[in-house]
Amino acid sequence: MIQLRGTLTLADLARFQYFHVLRRTWPGLILVLLIGLAILALIVAVPNPNILKNAAPLLTLFVIWLALLAVTPYWNARRQFARQRYLREPVSQTFSTDGIKSIGPSVSTELQWSVMQTVRETKSQFLLYYAPNQALLVPKRFFTDDAQLASWRDVARAGMSPKDIKQSAIGRWF
């Protein structure tokens, strides 16, 4: 049994939001950037003023989409952090092979490992997805040392199926 204590921060929620959004949209992001670069290269290579006039609306949409992609996850995290008081309260999380218990002043939850659809590891936290868009956040700063972190991984692998904790390139940044 592993016991963790801590308080989530706005940064924890923002990292989750950015990871969750970029995990699903990175192919589209790369495609939009490539198209935008191709349009810019065309504008530079062919000195025709009509090309710039014709491409301006499309480039404007790309810039707006990129700007929204950059700020929307933070806005969502900030709104969630402000509206859901229990996220700002200290929490005690207990992990065993039977399940997960989270207890705070305003809320307590108990989940079985069988509910977990996937567990993802990022640079700063573990995300235990129990629904496609919802996850239990376990910041790595809640762990007291590397031994406790290793023990947690063993407990998580013993309780869940499949037995792997997924890592991705996007997760290395968050």
pLDDT digits (tens, 9 = 90+) for 4-62: 999 999 999 999 999 888 877 777 778 877 887 887 787 778 777 777 777 778 778 88
Cβ-contact 71, 64 below 8 angstroms: no
Q: Which of 108, 147, 63, 149 is nearest to 138 (CA)?
A: 149
Q: What's the pTM value of the predicted model, to 2 decimals?
A: 0.78
- The tokens describing 71, both together, are 């700020």
Residue 74 confidence (pLDDT) above 60: yes
Where do the structural domains in the chain lie, given as residue ranges? 2-7+86-172, 10-83
Query: What is the reported pLDDT for 173?
Result: 61
The DSSP bridge pattern shows strands 108-112 and 118-121 to be unpaired
Banded pLDDT at 80 (limits 50, 70, 90):
very high
Q: Which is more confident, 36 or 164? A: 36
Please state, for a pLDDT cut of 70, what percent of the chain lies above it: 94
Residue 171 confidence (pLDDT) above 60: no
Domain 2-7+86-172 fold is PH-domain like (2.30.29)
Where would I find the H helices in the chain?
Answer: 10-45, 49-83, 146-159
